[in-house]
Amino acid sequence: MDKKIKRIGVLTSGGDAPGMNAAVRAVVRTAIANGIECVGIRRGWQGLINSDFVMLTRESVGHILSRGGTILYTARSEEFMTEKGRLKAVATCKMLGLDGVVAIGGDGTFRGALELSRLGVPVVGVPATIDNDVGCTNYTIGFDTACNTAIDCIDKLRDTMQSHERCSVVEVMGRNAGFLALYVGIAVGATTVLVPERPIDFQKDVVERIQDSRLAGNTHFMIVVAEGVGSAVEIGKRIHDAVGMDPRVTVLGHIQRGGAPNARDRETATRMGYYAVNAFVEGRGNSIIATQEGGIVEIPIEEALQRKKHLQMDRYRIMEIMQYGTKHNLFGV
């Protein structure tokens, strides 16, 4: 990118995550500080197709740092997945005079960004998803807030489960990734955690865990299930059939996406938004802003999308030690 950047767009796409507004605020204020105009694209890639936009100023993004959700709204766009739809988006960029776009979202958002960049529109991605499943970055905006929301809910559930000496099966979000479930499971002292990254032996992973916990003197049990594993309701039925208990099933669902972002998500979003604009200012683009070893790095989109993130299975060992004081060696690590 050799020409001077005069105007950029910013959008949020995919599932909303706490901290998206903080990232938008950082993009807008960093752009304005560098003499760059900023256009907000509403409703993600679909908004870029439909020319759904609003001019953003330093004042218009005031007081959004602490707000959950996204002031730019978000949507998934099947039309953008087609060549015709992407060409419409490019036409909007030309009509608005955009020299680049900052796309805030997850893996699907970045795959859209890659396609747009191949059509000549420079894009910089900012990872924001409560799933924390973007392969190129250690951390995604929204994860910590979602974890704390789930932990708060489960702590409250534990109070009533303990009072009635019951088993609780709690389903948390994360699609096909278990990062949220495992992190939360350790934090709440779950009896066991089920994630899609490893095969489940129901007898060993659930039934025997409940039995061991009961023999250790516990009268209430907390089973945390990642949504990618399957239905928590079905798991509750299997527990009933296996041990004769009547589990209470709770699906936390979209409550995990809401609420004010915590300090980590506000600060990380602000830094990422700053570096996204800085990439354009310094003549780069077509990259994703990522966190690695506590710092912010910039990775080319194609390379970033090829990277994979693996669940840290050693956390299971930690969970076992905390619960049972021994490693059962059930996890192959």
- Which residues belong to the active site? 131
Amino acid identity of 271? R
279 touches 287 (CB < 8 A): yes
Quote the Cα angle for 130-136-142, to 5°: 15
126 touches 102 (CB < 8 A): yes
Q: 136 vs 111, 126, 301, 303, CA distance in Å? A: 13, 11, 9, 8
Is residue 75 classed exposed, middle or buried when 0-12, 13-18 and 19+ CB atoms within 10 A define those classes?
Answer: middle
Measured in degrees and rounded to the nearest 5, phi and psi for residue 167 equal -105, 135
Helix (H, G, I), strand (E, B) or coil at 22: helix
For β-strands 248-251 and 295-300, DSSP reports them as unpaired
Positive/negative CA dihedral, 257, 262, 265, 270: positive
